[in-house]
Amino acid sequence: MIRLLDEFRCHFAMLRKHTIGLTRIFHTDHLRRSGSQMDTALISKSSSGSMDSYSRRQTSSLALPHQPSRPPRHDQYEISGLTSFYLVVLGGCSSFVIPELCSNYITCILITLAINAILCVSLNLINGYMGEFSVGHAAFMAIGAYGSAIITVKILPLIPFSLSSFLTFPLMVVAGGLLAALVGIPLALLSFKTRGDYLAIITLAFLMIVKSALENISYVGGPRGFLGIPPLTTLPWVYFWAVVTFWIMRHFIHSKWGRSIIAIREDEIAAEAMGVSTRSAKMMTFVISSFFAGIAGGLFAHQIQFINPSSFDILRSTNILVMVYLGGVASLSGSLVGAGVFTILYQILQPLGVWRMVTMPLLLVLLMIFRPRGIMGYQEWSCFKLKE
């Protein structure tokens, strides 16, 4: 195969020579030499790959006009990868220190910020990367919140022996996430047939159904809400979950499924024609997205200790949308920025009272008109990229 490629390359190069003037060829001769050295260096470093070094060398010597060497990005990535690892460790340490040093208020804001970041990145997967539109994200959050709250409050006391919350809390949160992911499956099935406006309506209907179903289940308190959830969400825990979320999301969008959903966003028919199984890609996206929304819900429930159906209404969904479109669509860094800016802005606007609920949708509309991509749309800080 490779030899064939080379042969072809040679052939094509000759073809090009007919059309390209002599001067160009001279010029490229010079370029080529510098490129070939770099290429062989690269190859000797990485012995794996479908190409043996023999053919690679041959390739370079037959390189075409205006062909630069591959951008040597490897080292950059390695450094930033290590830096981000240090940053994560540093953040982990400070998440233990901050609650001791700072006021409760600051800690509380930081916890909210981390939960918001998880929500934002999970919605960004559907709205930003896949280019579909979901307004029902608050519903997944609600399911995660209620699911984990039920386990903490109603099921755990039934177990005869007592377990430390350090062990049970992550399990409860994961259980909430799994429940949300399970509910995400039918929604994914619906997204196979419909898209665009109609999918938006389906997610909206889904949100309304979940909300009014919760209002009608007296087991979880109905419209009055669910009381007495222990305050298990601490800063180190949310930090841990946020890191896990971003870590997994980064892997997902840099995998073949990640590329698939981006292809679906660009052109669904072309994506299918490139062998992308749109169904499994959509299914995975919805499941992963709803799982993390459920995780965020579980953390949220154990932070504020009281949840009721109306805390998961359309306004909650809108807030997540604001974060996504403020921070930047299809961007992990954007999700972080969006969650950060939103959380702080939300606190600053506290004195406005009810009018604060006007400012958030207004911000959303202004964003749509003036900068629909958001701050970091389609861009990424290098620490969120992966080396290849």
Q: Closer CB to another protein, residue 276 or residue 332?
A: 276
The closest of 200, 322, 247, 234 to 87, measured between CA atoms, is: 247
What is the closest distance, in whole angstroms, from the C-beta atom of residue 333 to another protein in the complex? Answer: 18
What is the closest distance, in whole angstroms, from the C-beta atom of residue 267 to another protein in the complex? Answer: 5
What is the closest distance, in whole angstroms, from the C-beta atom of residue 252 to another protein in the complex? Answer: 6
Stretch that binds another protein, among 141-149, 150-158, 300-308, 347-355 (CB under 8 A): 347-355
**269-288 residues near another protein, rule: CB under 8 A:** 269-278, 284, 288
Judge contact between 226 and 306, C-beta under 8 A. Answer: yes
Residue 67 in tokens: 């062909």
Residue 238 in tokens: 């949310």
What is the closest distance, in whole angstroms, from the C-beta atom of residue 255 to another protein in the complex? Answer: 4
Q: How many helices (H) and strands (E) does the chain have?
A: 15, 0
Is residue 79 within the footprint of another protein (CB under 8 A)?
Answer: no
Member of 25, 38, 51, 304 binding another protein (CB under 8 A): 51
Binding string to another protein for residues 369 to 388, with x set by CB under 8 A, is what?
x--x-----x-------x-x
Member of 37, 49, 106, 163 binding another protein (CB under 8 A): 49
**212-231 residues near another protein, rule: CB under 8 A:** 212-213, 215-216, 223
Q: Closer CB to another protein, residue 107 or residue 240?
A: 240
Is residue 54 within the footprint of another protein (CB under 8 A)?
Answer: no
**149-208 residues near another protein, rule: CB under 8 A:** 190, 193-194, 196-198, 200-202, 204-206, 208
Stretch that binds another protein, among 68-76, 145-153, 174-182, 292-300 (CB under 8 A): 68-76
What is the closest distance, in whole angstroms, from the C-beta atom of residue 331 to another protein in the complex? Answer: 13
Q: Closer CB to another protein, residue 119 or residue 262?
A: 262
First to last CA, the chain: 23
Stretch that binds another protein, among 98-106, 210-218, 227-235, 343-351 (CB under 8 A): 210-218
Q: Closer CB to another protein, residue 159 or residue 365?
A: 365
One-letter amino acid of 69: S
What is the closest distance, in whole angstroms, from the C-beta atom of residue 181 to another protein in the complex? Answer: 13
Q: Rounded to whole angstroms, what are the CA distances from 325 to 121, 334, 363, 380?
A: 11, 9, 10, 15
Helices (H), 64-216: 74-101, 104-124, 137-150, 165-193, 197-216
Is residue 7 within the footprint of another protein (CB under 8 A)?
Answer: yes
The angle, 0 to 180 degrees and rounded to 10, between the axes of the packed helices 104-124 and 314-327 is 80
**16-45 residues near another protein, rule: CB under 8 A:** 16, 19
Sign of the Cα torsion 17, 22, 26, 31 reads negative
Sign of the Cα torsion 5, 10, 11, 12 reads positive
What is the closest distance, in whole angstroms, from the C-beta atom of residue 142 to another protein in the complex? Answer: 14
Counting residues that bind another protein (by CB under 8 A) gives 96
Q: Closer CB to another protein, residue 155 or residue 224?
A: 224
What is the closest distance, in whole angstroms, from the C-beta atom of residue 337 to another protein in the complex? Answer: 18
Q: Rounded to whole angstroms, what are the CA distances from 271 to 139, 197, 199, 238?
A: 29, 20, 19, 36
The C-alpha atoms of residue 122 and residue 118 are separated, in whole angstroms, by 6
Residues 152-190: b if buried by 16+ CB within 10 A, e if exposed = bbeebeeeeeeeeeeebbbebbbbbbbbbbebbeebbeb
Q: Closer CB to another protein, residue 54 or residue 198?
A: 198
CB atoms under 10 Å from CB of 352, counted, come to 11
**241-270 residues near another protein, rule: CB under 8 A:** 248, 251-252, 254-257, 259-260, 262-263, 266-267, 269-270
* CA 244 to chain centroid: 11
